[in-house]
Every structure is written in C-alpha cells, then in structure tokens.
Amino acid sequence: MESKYIPVIGLEIHLQLNLQNKMFSPEKFEYGAPNNTLTTPITLAYPGTLPTFNKEALYSAIKLGLSFGSDISNINYFDRKTYFYPDLPKGYQITQDKTPICKGGRIYFDVNGKEEYINLTRIHVEEDTANIKIIKSGNSNIYNNNGDKITLDYNRCGAALLEIVTKPEFKNSDEVFYFLHELRRIVRFLKISNCNMEEGSLRCDVNVSLTQGNSKAGQNRVEVKNLNSIKNVKTAIEYEIIRQSEILNNNNQIKNETRTFVPENNTTKFMRLKENSSDYRYTREFNIPPIVISDNEINNIKNNLETLPREYKKKLMSEYNLSEYISDIFLENLDMLHYFETLAKTITNYETLANWLIGPIKKLLNKYKIEINELNIDKNNLCELITLVIDNKISYSTATQIVLEKLIENPLKPTQELIKELNLTQDLETNYIKSMINNVLTEYSNKVVEYKNGKKGILGLFVGEVMKRTKNKANPKITSELIQKAIEENY
C-alpha cells in the first residue's frame, strides 16, 4: 500500500578539513596521533589564552562553496556557541552563527541515471570538539553516567570543520544516499577533506519528518546522529520513516527529538528532546577580529577550481570515449585520472590505456602499497611498453607479468633496451605471428585445400591477411616462410 505520508529530509554534514594545523590554535592536527599529544594551552583553554586563526580553513570553505554556486561572504564574523560538556574545554564552540562564509548553492547528483539537485542553506566554519571514547579495557579512571570507562582525547579539539546544511528537500533515502556519494566525491576532488566516515572526517546528521499532502503544520522532526557510513544513513532514514508513520497512524504526536542510530539492529534510539537553539546563547567571539576575504582572493580560488566530477565524467566519456564504468573508477582517484590524461597525450588508444591503468598498474600499486604518484616507472618507458603491446611487438602477458616489474627495477633504462636485454622480443614476435598464421589458416581452411591442390598464388592472400592482423609489423618474407612451413607441418 502506498504510504499517505511524504518524507521530508534534511542533512547537516560536518567535514573535517585536512589542514596541517588546527583552526583556532596553532598546533598540528593529524588523525590517529596518540591521545592528547596535539594540544597546547590554547586548545585546553587555560585562562588568559587567546585563539589563533587559520585562514586556510576559509579558503577550503570558499572552494567548496564556489563549486556549488554559493554566495561567498567577504567579511567573516565568529561567534561563541555556549554549552557545557567535557568535549569543549572553553565551555563554548567557536562557530559562525548568522554570517556563514557560504550562503545558498546547489549540489547536483544522479539518482539511477536521472539528474537531481538539492539546495543548500549554508556552509560555515567552526572548530571541532574533543573526542570522547568509550573504552572496553584501558587505564582510564574517568567514567560516564553509564559506568563505562572513557578517555577524553583533546587532539581533535580546535581542528577545522565545515558544516554544510541542506534545505529539507530530500524525498527519500535513495536521494540522500546518492547525494552523499556525490558530495564525498566532490570534496575528495577538491582535496579539502579525506571524507572518511569511519575516522570521523565526514559526519552526517539526518533530520526526518513526515507530511501529509501539503500540510506541514504541526509536524515535528527527528534528528538522528552517530551515523558512521553512508549505508547507515540510508538505513536510519528508512527506519525513521516506518517508525514515525506508525506513531502517526496511532494518532500520536512525533516528538522533536534527537535519536542515535543503533547499528546492531538497524534502528534508532531516543537520546534527548531537542534543545532550543536559544539555549546556546550565541554571542560574538570578539577575540577573533572580522576576517576579510577580498574579491581578489575569491577570484583567485575560482580561477583554479577543479572541474567537478560530473562534468569531468562527461568529458571522459565524450573526449576519450571511455565507458561509464571506467570513468567512475578514475573519478574516485584523481591522481590516477591525471596520470591517465598525461599518458593519453602519447597513447591515443584510450580504452587500452585506461585498462592498463586500472588493471596491471593498479595491481602493482596494491602490491607495493603505493599511490600512482609514487610509482617510479618513467612515463615515457611505460608509454613505450604499452605501445609495443598495442603494436603486437610483445605480448600483453609478457609485458605485464615480466617487463613492468623490470621497469621498476630499472627506472632509467629505455623499455626497448630492457626488452632486448631480457631477450623477449624475438621469440615473442615469432610466437605472435605464428598464432596469427594459425588463425588465418583455420579461417581460410578451404583456401588451404586449394593451395595444397596447386593454386600457389593463394599464398599472397594468407600473407596479406597476417600482415593486416599484425598491422604490417610482421616481416613479409619471414611471414611467407612461416606460412609455408605451417601448411606443410599441420595441414
């Protein structure tokens, strides 16, 4: 039965920027450092300390905003969002309340091949909080209300975050699913965050409510937190739609509440009734002066912006004739994509080139646990090798199984020289021609009979066919001899 309720869904997304330093204190920031090793008195809010400011965070926000067509604020004020919790040593979080760096904008994405978009309310900059970790075993002597042992890790405290708030325009969980994939792809393209949900560099809260027809009156919404994968976001939305529908069907009210996702049974659990935003007592953070971004700075970022993945995909599919499948693989790995485009200046058999990169080259990278930029094969050598295979000078299997590794061991040696030293060409060439001859003779078996019956002129046809198949790379004299020998021996 078609449900009589229409879901209304909006997202609040936090991106942890991959900057070297924190946003409001000067120390380094990196994921995975030992607990409480990346802290200073500023992070820990010792009395008398003042925040610092890292303008790079604003540049990242502008990059993202410009990609979505947002309006960028030239003057940026910062505010204190007050709440008391151990993850905030200052007792307030520095954020942007009424004056976000980016306003509006729109993100396009595909849902099962159909283009959709969602409008954004805002993107603002703020500081991350400390990480409160519940530990099963360990030597912490701090406990939470449930009696779990916890550690407070202040490494993350003060790191740069962007918060992206969408309009409540999603109509179902699929839209959210594809939207988040596209957003992650864009952010990785722009290289401003790793977007790793497990490590917490991409965090997403979903707001779900139900309407009936056009009446939005009286519909409270539920916010679900602690979603650590895109799949869980989808699952949580689907669960909430069912849960809320049942409540409404029983003529009960949805409460304005915050819930948490329970991955063990794919449900959500009540956390707290939603605070009114006035509880946060926003006030201006006067310790940070208004940060002015000039039009020049904005234009500079605009002029250096990456082509967005969806546009890039169109380019890959039209200019290089790549399949959607291969294009998507490249779009997940920008360095690989740039590598492809560099080599494509030399090798115009784009599909073959692409298959080399996502096949044997990728395998090599996995084996040595390196990225494509760390591959020490000279690009010219690699092009030469691929060309040799395209021209049937050596076989694909020899090239990928033997020569590739040798190119790594001898990065300065030209491919041709290496192959000569390894004594690979001669035999392989002959073997390749022999297999072509075999194909031709099998296909033209009736002509072989005529030849054997004395029509010796047919030899020319066979030679011609083999030449054609080896793109004229075979030596006609040798080919002719090999054909005669093959007929004598095998037919």
By the criterion CB under 6 A, which residues form the site for ligand ADP?
Answer: 8-12, 165-168, 207-209, 221, 277
Q: Name which of 223 and 285 has its Cβ closer to ligand ADP.
A: 223
**Which residue, 10 or 65, has its beta carbon nearer to ligand ADP?**
10
Query: Cβ 280 to ligand ADP, closest distance in Å?
Result: 10
Measured over the CA atoms of residue 181, residue 183, residue 185 and residue 187, the dihedral's sign is negative
Q: Which is nearer to ligand ADP, 256 or 416 (CB)?
A: 256
Of the candidates 124, 122, 142, 123, the one whose C-alpha atom is nearest the C-alpha of residue 132 is: 142
Residue length, the chain?
491
Q: How far is CA 428 from the centre of its chain?
A: 40
CB of 241 to ligand ADP, least distance (A): 11
Closer residue to ligand ADP (CB): 164 or 419: 164
Minimum distance of ligand ADP from residue 284's CB (angstroms):
19
- Please report how close the Cβ of residue 165 comes to ligand ADP at its closest, in angstroms: 5
Q: Which two tokens stand for residue 119?
A: 């409008």
Question: Which of 230, 173, 192, 160 minimizes the C-alpha distance to 67?
Answer: 192
CA gap 452, 202 in Å, rounded: 73
Here the tokens at position 139 are 């030597």
Residue (60 or 207) nearer to ligand ADP, CB:
207
Quote the least distance from Cβ 208 to ligand ADP, whole Å.
6
Smallest separation (angstroms) from ligand ADP to the CB of 169: 7
Q: Which residues contact 407 (CB under 8 A, 6 or more apart)?
A: 377, 378, 381, 382, 385, 413, 415, 418
CB of 224 to ligand ADP, least distance (A): 11
If the CB atoms of residues 137 and 214 are measured against ligand ADP, the closer one turns out to be 214
Helix (H) or strand (E) holding 116: strand 114-127
Q: Tokens 């000067």 belong to which residue?
A: 26
Rounded Cα distance between 119 and 107, Å, is 7
Helix (H, G, I), strand (E, B) or coil at 307: coil
Spatial CA neighbour of 101 closest among 41, 143, 53, 51: 53
Q: 309-319 and 173-190 helices cross at what angle (nearest 10)?
A: 80
Pick the closer one to ligand ADP by CB: 168 or 309: 168
**H or E stretch covering 259:** strand 257-262
Alpha carbon distances (Å) from 55 to 26, 68, 98, 292, 307? 12, 20, 19, 10, 24
Rank residues 9 and 382 by Cβ distance to ligand ADP and give the closer one: 9
Contact 186, 118 (CB under 8 A): no
Distance, in Å, from the CA atom of 163 to the CA atom of 200, rounded to the nearest integer, reads 13
Q: Which residues of 414-443 are buried (b: 16+ CB within 10 A; e: fewer)?
A: ebeebbeeeebeeebbeebbbebbeebbee
* Cα atoms found within 13 Å of the Cα of residue 324, Cβ hemisphere only: 3
In this complex, which beta carbon is closest to ligand ADP, that of residue 236 or of residue 424? 236
Closer by beta carbon to ligand ADP, 55 or else 171: 171
- Minimum separation from the CB atom of position 154 to ligand ADP (A): 26
Question: Closest approach of Cβ 403 to ligand ADP, in Å?
Answer: 54
The least distance separating ligand ADP from the CB of residue 107, rounded to whole angstroms, comes to: 13
Between residues 81 and 313, which has the closer beta carbon with respect to ligand ADP? 81
Shortest spacing between CB 212 and ligand ADP, in angstroms: 13
Which one, 9 or 353, has the nearer CB to ligand ADP? Answer: 9
CB 317 within 8 A of CB 351: no
CB-CB neighbours of 380 under 10 Å: 12
Whose tokens are 């050598």? That residue is: 381
Q: How far apart are CA 134 and CA 130, in angstroms?
A: 13
| Residue 215: CB minimum distance to ligand ADP, A | 12
Residue nearest ligand ADP by beta-carbon distance = 10
Question: Are the C-beta atoms of 386 and 345 separated by less than 8 Å?
Answer: no
Whose Cβ is closer to ligand ADP: residue 282's or residue 444's? 282
The phi, psi pair for 187, rounded to 5°, reads -65, -40
> In the bound complex, what is the minimum distance in angstroms from residue 115's beta carbon to ligand ADP?
21
